[in-house]
Amino acid sequence: MFLVVPTPQAVADLVSTLVYQHIKAKPAAVLGLATGGTMEPIYAALVAKLQQQPLPLEKLTTFNLDEYVGLSAAHPQSYHYFMQQHLFAPLGLAPSQVHLPDGNCRNSAEECQAYSEQIAAAGGLDLQLLGIGSNGHIGFNEPGTPFDCNTHEIELTAQTRQDNLRFFADAAEVPTHAITMGICEIMAAREVILVATGQRKADIIAQLYTSGVDEQLPASVLKQHRNLKVIIDEDAAALLPTHLQQAG
Ligand code: GLP
């Protein structure tokens, strides 16, 4: 389940190849997408591959995991903006093909319900890409989130706000809430790839390796998934048992 490769670039090459092959095999794929620093080199590599060897993308559909509450799509730290910049604009994906929760919605319960229904109407997710928070969150499903949740609004933990402070001017600007796909929708994806790079993730990756399935470590639920790959670089593998620390 754990695949260790030497560097973040090697992670990007491998994961972008897997996504590319997925789209090639199924042009009408429904992709679940993630944001965060870990995804940037992956999306850059995917864009480069698709520029070198184009595939038809008109039938592709995407759903992102999450969005901050209170940020408009035009806010440079919104996940709408991130996705537009790193993937949707370079690939020329139409607005009708891509989906993210609306962080500026008036009624969050209605927005969450509608997002869940859209995922279901698309036939569920074929391939879900995930990063991992330093506290083990996936999407923004923070520790303690029940595993039987669909898309919902969540209060971000102090740890997550601290981790994401680096993207904002100051602490007061970091949103306190987010809308996130739930564990149910993530677990229903037919294939899941969780990615982690860098020393910053070594501790949570080691915890994930040893942990049983536990709501206090949301990513641990993936141990029950039938088609999961955890793809990490050697820095993120540094605290795993010795035989797993180096690229195979
Ligand atoms: C955010 C996102 C997650 C992401 C995590 C890790 O909180 N909601 O989907 O996996 O951060 O981000 P990074 O890749 O920047 O470490």
Percent of the chain surpassing pLDDT 70: 100
User: What atom of ligand 1 comes closest to residue 65's alpha carbon?
Assistant: 9
Task: Quote the pLDDT of residue 248.
Answer: 78
pLDDT for position 176? 97
- Tens of pLDDT along 72-94? 999 999 999 999 999 999 999 99
Is the pLDDT score of 194 beyond 90?
Answer: yes
pTM as predicted:
0.97
pLDDT digits (tens, 9 = 90+) for 149-173: 999 999 999 999 999 999 999 999 9
Q: Name the residue at shortest CA distance from atom 5 of ligand 1.
A: 133
Give the integer Cα–Cα distance in Å for 80 and 126: 21
Ligand 1 atom with minimal separation from the 164 CA: 7
Q: Alpha helix (H) ranges present in the chain? A: 8-25, 39-52, 79-83, 89-91, 108-121, 158-164, 183-187, 202-210
CA distances from 28 to 8, 10, 59, 227 (A): 29, 27, 5, 20
pLDDT for residue 143:
98
Beta strand 30-33 with 66-68: parallel, antiparallel or unpaired? unpaired
- Active site residue: 142, 163, 233, 235, which one? 142
In the residue annotation, 137 being an active-site residue is answered as yes
Of residues 123, 57, 113, the one with CA closest to residue 89: 57
Q: How confident is the model at residue 109 (pLDDT cuts 50, 70, 90)?
A: very high
Distance CA 86, CA 13 (A): 16
Position 246 scores a pLDDT of 87
Residue 140 Cα: closest atom of ligand 1:
8
pLDDT for residue 128 is more than 90: yes
The pLDDT-based confidence of 104 (bands split at 50, 70, 90) is very high
**What mean pLDDT value characterizes the chain?**
97
Report the residue among 11, 15, 33, 35 best suited for mutation to probe ligand 1: largest number of ligand atoms under 8 A from its CB. Answer: 35
CA–CA gap between residue 12 and residue 70 (Å, rounded):
31
Q: Which residues line ligand 1 (CB under 6 A)?
A: 34-38, 65-66, 131-133, 139-140, 160, 164
